[in-house]
Structures are given as structure tokens and as C-alpha cells.
A and B are shown apart, each in its own frame.
Chain A
Amino acid sequence: MSNEWPLWEVFIRTKGGLSHRHAGSVRAPDAELALRHARDTYTRRLEGVSLWVVPSAQIVASDPSQGGPLFEPAESKIYRHPTFYHVPDSVKHL
């Protein structure tokens, strides 16, 4: 039987006010050690002020081959962007 430690995804908040961002992965037997490994592996140079670790198996991802049906419908809806609307230059604060 393989006793390989499970994989965890590591997210770092680089400074207050920013959201956590994916940095990479570590292997660890439990959440506490995953945090310690993440700290040693990804924050040796003050890269962050906060860490998240998430079991990789818990992440649900969209299927890249379904990228078209998922994302393309937004392509034709350019009226969702402010630049779609023509207003006179002379009118301010719009």
C-alpha cells in the first residue's frame, strides 16, 4: 500500500487587502503540517501575510473541453461593458 501523503494546494495573501492567490502544492499528512510545509516551501522571502491550504482532492474544476459552452456566451454580450454605450464627450461623470 502506498503511504504517500496527500496533496494540498497552497494559496498566499501577499499583503493585507489582496486576495489569496494560488502558489503551488505541497504534500503533507494533515492540515497542520501542510501549513508548515507551505510556509517553508513558498514563503522564505516574506512572500505573504496569510496562507490557505486546501486538499487538492477537494477542488472542483471546470472541464477545459467545455470552455466554449461555458465562456463563449459572454462573448456576444458586449453591452455588459461601459464602452458599448455612446454618450457625448461634453457630458461629464458618466
Chain B
Amino acid sequence: MLTYTIRRLILAIPTLLFIALVIFLLLELAPGDPMAEMPLTIPPEVKERMREALGLGQPWYIRFYLWLYQFFVVEPQYWIDALFGTNLADGAQRIISFQSRSPVFDTIAERIPQTLWVVGMSYVVGVIIALPIGIISAYRQYSWFDNLGTFISMVGFSVPTFFTGVLLIVIFSVNLGWFPSIYDTTLVVNDWSSFLMQLRQMAMPVFVLALYNAAQISRFMRASMLDNLGQDYVRTARAKGMRERVVVLKHVLRNSLIPVVTVIALGVPQVFGGAIITEQVFKVNGLGQLLIIAIHGNDVPMILTLTFIFAVLIVIFNLIADVLYGFLDPRIRYD
């Protein structure tokens, strides 16, 4: 198992390098010019020097190497410096955003809490809703509960999140006035009333994303339960005279959870991607919104870094899912 994990980790490095190269070249091929928004009155020689100041004078492979060096060496050094008060980085050049002229990772660090709160919470809520629904739907297959669950999950992954979000805003904040339609990041939670306020502003984005996630996970849970319910060991357990509760919740559920856990792990990075739209709808200034702003502003270092972080998340969670699968299911052995 350990050798497998190590081998996968080593294999992940060329994968990530390749992905970085693809993203970099895509941005490189693009005709977009970060200087396009500058006033036309700037003389050409000044413009040329500005381009050099942005680091655009070098050929692409040098810039690609420098970006990799900054991402994997310089930035971690800064993190270590900030944590332990050392001076490893020694003033080395960090990845600088074209738009804000500040280090990309500072902006990302500012945005991560909002994304994690909303997106992370919605995923947790989604999983918590999905598992019992999946279990009951499978146990009472073709009952009214199962049919309703099937219909709701069908709706859940058919209706795009931007429509659910907008619909909720129309109903709950425009007509009923229960929840605010805009997520206020400046809200400081320090007492009960501000905590309630935080809950209220999180309610709608979390619900939208949770519905979408729960729809998919509950389907997997149901299918996996159905697979196991028909197996011989379940009949054996019942024949031994075990209570139904023990049979379902101990024998069947544990075995059915194995594939579901990996599906949950695989879904985490997709949630970050899908959050782009939800964050845009509810004006949460998280990572997704940052990416949209960067794309509109032709902010190449920001786009590159953010997209690469998404890719790293995908690769890492794929690895986690595979390792988890082997760990949970003794029948799967990779070595």
C-alpha cells in the first residue's frame, strides 16, 4: 500500500508538470495582451519597459521555468518564513498579479476562507443529506420515498446552479426578505446576532450547492446499497437471526460506503470548480470569483496559479480516492 502511494505520488509530478505546461501554453498562445488596457498616450518605449517590468520580455520556456521555480520553491519559502520567522526566501521575487501588483498568494489567502466556508459547508451538508436518502431509497426501492428521491435528485442535477440560485434569490430575498441576496464578507462574527447573520447569508449558497451535490451522491449511495442488498452475505446475516437494523446499518451500509467514499473524495475538486458559478450568483468573493475577475482582466499569473491550484486539487483527490479505496476494501490490492 505504501509503495503504491509513493509510486502514485511520484507519478503525479510529471502529470502536474504537464498540466502546468498545458495551461501555460494555452495562455501563451492567446492573443490577449496585458498591456491592452493601458492608455494609448503612453509612448511605445515606456510601454516596452513596462512589459519588461511585468516579466514579458523573456522567451516562454524561461518564464515557464521561473514560474515553476516561484510556485514550488519561493512561495513555500515565504510560508515557512511567515510561520517560523526564518529568512529563507531572502526577498526573492514572488508571483505577482498583473492587476493588483501584489503577490498572487496573498490574494488567494484572503479569498480561501470564504470559499471554504461556503463550498466546504455545502459539500458537508450535501453528504449528510445524501447518505440517509440513498440508504432509505435503496432499502425501500420503488416506494413513494424512493420515487420522490429519484425525482428530486434528477431535478437536482438537471437544474443548473445559476438558476436555482437566482430562483432562491427571487423567492427568499426579493419576495419574502428572509435571507440577504449578497454575501457580505466584511461581517465579523463576534456575538450571537452576527453569528445568526452569518448563518442567514450562508443559507442560500450552501443550499444551492448542497442540493446539487446531494443529488449525485444519493444516487451513488442508492446504487451501491442496491448492489449489496441482494448479496448472499445479507441473506446469511438475516438467516442467523440478526435484527434488520444490524443487517442494514452494519453489514450492508459498511460495504456500500466503500465506493461512495471514493466518489465523495473525487467530487471535492469538482465542487471548487462548480463553486465558480454559485459564487458569481451570490457575489461571494471567493476563489471562483477571483478567477473570473482575473480572466476578464487578462491577469495571466493569477489565472495560471489559480487554475494550477485547481489541477493540483484534482490530482491530489484522485490519489486520495484510489488510496482510500484500497485501504477500505481489502479485496483491492494494488501491489
A binds B: no
